[in-house]
Amino acid sequence: MLLCCLSVVSLSAQPMTLTFTGRFANQYVPLSRVVVSNLTKGWQETLPWPDTVLVLSATGIQDVEMPCRASLQISQNTPNPFDGTTIVNLQVAEPGDVTVNVNDITGRIVGANHYSPEQPGLYQMCVTLSAPGLYFLTARQNGQSVSVKMVNQGNGGEGNITFTNIVETPYMASQTQTQTPQPKRAFRGSTDNPFEPGDQMEYVGFAMQNGEEVESSHTIQTQDASQTIALSFANTQPCPGVPTVTDVEGNVYNTVLIGSQCWMKENLRTTMFADGTPIPLGSYTTSDPNYYDDSTSYIPWVERGYLYNWAAAMRETTSSSAIPSGVQGVCPNGWHLPSDAEWMALKDYVASQPEYACSGNSNYTAKALASTSWWGNFSGDCGPGNQSDYPNNATGFGAVPVGTLMVYGYNDVGYYAHFWSSTEYENYTDVAYYYGVDYDGEDFYQAVTAKGRRASVRCLKD
């Protein structure tokens, strides 16, 4: 039996093949769908089924059957080199048992699996390895053998090979009702939507987590070549039994569980205290309890929230480093402004989880806490302003760079995300602790600032 592959024939441009895969830290995430938008041409397509393969040409997105091949084939793993986990496509030309092994340079088998496809097709495997080094992935079927070299640079857990997805089988339509149902085709059918190399594209993945469909970070880029695109997901588990919280004005906030702490997932945006008392909109002085509406910001309102001075955040309640937990302050009932100790607990927990460390450094956790959008550009690998190698927001906390407002009016929108704590700085009554993420900084840091400064507020569940 021969395997007929799918490709695109275009008379006007070289076709581009995009392969989508979902990722959370170093783990593979099966995709339920991918939404592809051409921002230049103004169209959008939804591609069903996990890890969809999309072919773009200047005449649209098409499927065309090409000449058949009769051989066992294996693709080069993507990415290569990789950091503990990589993806490989296996092309099977006929039914029959397939054995796949991973050997290190000494010949020792460090991972293996056995698969029995019911028909020819393109099948996807996820390979995880625990130790850096050079490896050989070999597939064998019906007397045929194919291999690829792989270079691992990280720890993905124990050596393992998992068949994760059926990318394509050309004979699905001819299968009878008595045979095992097969997934629908991963390639899109033909469309009239136009595409040209250099178009600005946006890609968003969706996957199921805890029985709910969640959204990946948005990847926006100029598309001018074939590419494997990893769509990054955050650990967006809401707090058990408390998926949202509503303030006195009716504003609804999502929650996120990080370690044992239940956090608001968005910045506070209330103009009233929990008992309905309005928060005065005052001047930029250090004594006036007030919030500040940065109406000139380009960041959407729901993500931005208000900026508050410390008096407003605390409702003019004093605190000290001796108080282990925060006070309610401006937060809704059942929630409070976190203390320095509670912020430090968040910092320590994130640093203790290897999947949140950028470049393997446990101190480099800024990206894991930073939102995926609105950051100023930065060339360093582990600053939130650069998402080319290590994606932002693995924790789901989503710190947004709304900037801060000093007494003299300075605002750094796009560069800094600063959050008040309820703790004064030792015996200094005019300054308090805050925690921050900067566009060009690798760490989530503790600092002190004047109480008259305007900063964001995140509330923590009691």
On the question of pLDDT at 420 being above 90, the answer is yes
CATH hierarchy code of domain 73-170: 2.60.40.1930
- Most trustworthy range by pLDDT among 140-149, 401-410, 419-428: 419-428
In this prediction, residue 141 carries a pLDDT of 86
In this prediction, residue 210 carries a pLDDT of 57
Least confident segment among 130-144, 261-275, 397-411: 397-411
In this prediction, residue 27 carries a pLDDT of 63
Q: Provide the β-strand partners of residue 85.
A: 128
Query: What mean pLDDT, rounded, does the chain reach?
Result: 78
Mean pLDDT, rounded, for 387-402:
84
Question: Is 136 within 8 Å of 148 (Cβ atoms)?
Answer: yes
139 or 332, higher pLDDT:
332
On the question of pLDDT at 369 being above 80, the answer is yes
pLDDT band at 104 (very low <50, low <70, confident <90, very high): confident
| Alpha helix ranges (H) inside 315-454 | 340-352, 366-369
pLDDT band at 146 (very low <50, low <70, confident <90, very high): confident
156 or 404, higher pLDDT:
404
On the question of pLDDT at 6 being above 90, the answer is no
In this prediction, residue 288 carries a pLDDT of 57
- Whole-angstrom Cα distance, residue 440 to residue 367? 10
- Most trustworthy range by pLDDT among 103-112, 285-294, 415-424: 415-424
On the question of pLDDT at 8 being above 70, the answer is no
> Which of 424, 443, 15, 414 lies closest to 226 in space, CA to CA?
15
- Whole-angstrom Cα distance, residue 352 to residue 350? 5
On the question of pLDDT at 428 being above 90, the answer is no
Question: Is 440 within 8 Å of 293 (Cβ atoms)?
Answer: no
30 or 173, higher pLDDT:
30
On the question of pLDDT at 5 being above 50, the answer is no
283 or 346, higher pLDDT:
346
- Whole-angstrom Cα distance, residue 128 to residue 106? 18
Here the tokens at position 368 are 């894991």
pTM for this one?
0.55
Residue ranges, CATH 2.60.40.1930, the chain: 73-170
On the question of pLDDT at 194 being above 70, the answer is yes
Mean pLDDT, rounded, for 27-37:
80
pLDDT band at 172 (very low <50, low <70, confident <90, very high): very low
Q: Could you read off the pLDDT of 67-103 as tens digits, one per residue?
A: 334 478 888 887 777 888 888 888 888 888 888 989 8
In this prediction, residue 439 carries a pLDDT of 93
pLDDT band at 66 (very low <50, low <70, confident <90, very high): very low
On the question of pLDDT at 442 being above 90, the answer is yes
What CATH architecture is 6-63+186-232?
Sandwich (2.60)
On the question of pLDDT at 438 being above 70, the answer is yes
> Which of 429, 447, 403 lies closest to 287 in space, CA to CA?
429
- In the chain, what percentage of residues exceed pLDDT 70? 77
On the question of pLDDT at 307 being above 70, the answer is yes
What is the number of other CB atoms lying within 10 angstroms of the CB of residue 172?
16
> Which of 227, 99, 121, 205 lies closest to 167 in space, CA to CA?
121
Mean pLDDT, rounded, for 362-367:
93
- Whole-angstrom Cα distance, residue 51 to residue 207? 10
In this prediction, residue 412 carries a pLDDT of 82
In this prediction, residue 181 carries a pLDDT of 34
In this prediction, residue 89 carries a pLDDT of 85
Question: Is 216 within 8 Å of 393 (Cβ atoms)?
Answer: no
Q: Could you read off the pLDDT of 251-294 as tens digits, one per residue?
A: 999 999 999 999 999 999 999 999 999 987 754 454 555 676 65
* Distant-in-sequence, close-in-space partners of 280: CB < 8 Å, separation ≥ 6: 288, 289, 290
